[in-house]
């Protein structure tokens, strides 16, 4: 008689326990946020938390929020920068800047792109295509 041993991994067959780690993280995040607030109903806190927990449990890339969202403020109060929760909770710091700062940053970025060798090569190719097209007319 032969005994067959079957092992079922809790992470969908990957065998590395990643689902277990993510579930443990989700539990820690939920308990911390629940303890840190009077109600999950205020300021979309419950909805934001649901999105975050879902991303953690699925192993998705995560969710992005403005820097001043209540969930982000609570996460920052309770979890250090290197904590695993930050792989799933992304903060858009640009929203904390005034309009002039954002425009300056956009101008600088655009200037960097326009001055780049890659853009110069693209511009040369477009000009060559235009010349070629005009010759055919």
The pLDDT score that the predictor gives to residue 97 is: 56
For the cut 70, the answer to whether the pLDDT of residue 44 exceeds it is: yes
Please say whether the beta carbons of 49 and 40 come within 8 A. Answer: yes
Q: What is the mean pLDDT of residues 13-38?
A: 83
Q: Are 87 and 59 in contact (CB under 8 A)?
A: no
Instruction: For 29-53, give one letter per residue: b (16+ CB within 10 A) or e.
Output: bbebbeeebeebeeeebbebbebbb
| Environment class of 1 (CB within 10 Å of its CB; exposed 0-12, middle 13-18, buried 19+) | exposed
pLDDT at 22: 92
Query: What pLDDT digit, counting tens, does each position of 111-120 carry?
Result: 666 777 777 7
Using the predicted structure, report yes or no on whether residue 36 has a pLDDT greater than 80. yes
pLDDT digits (tens, 9 = 90+) for 71-107: 999 999 999 989 999 999 999 876 555 666 666 666 6
């Amino acid at each position: 008689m032969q005994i067959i041993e079957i092992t079922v991994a809790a992470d969908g067959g990957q065998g590395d326990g990643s689902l277990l780690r993510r579930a443990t993280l989700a539990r820690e995040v939920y308990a911390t946020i629940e303890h840190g607030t009077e109600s999950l109903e205020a300021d979309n806190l419950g909805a934001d938390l649901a999105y975050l927990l879902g991303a953690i449990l699925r192993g998705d890339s995560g969710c992005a929020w403005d820097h001043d969202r209540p969930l982000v403020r609570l996460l920052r109060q309770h979890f250090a920068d290197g904590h695993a929760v930050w792989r799933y909770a992304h903060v858009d710091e640009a929203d904390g800047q005034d309009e002039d700062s954002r425009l300056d940053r956009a101008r600088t970025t655009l200037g960097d792109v326009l001055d780049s060798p890659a853009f110069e090569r693209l511009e040369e190719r477009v000009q060559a295509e235009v010349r070629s097209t005009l010759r055919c007319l």
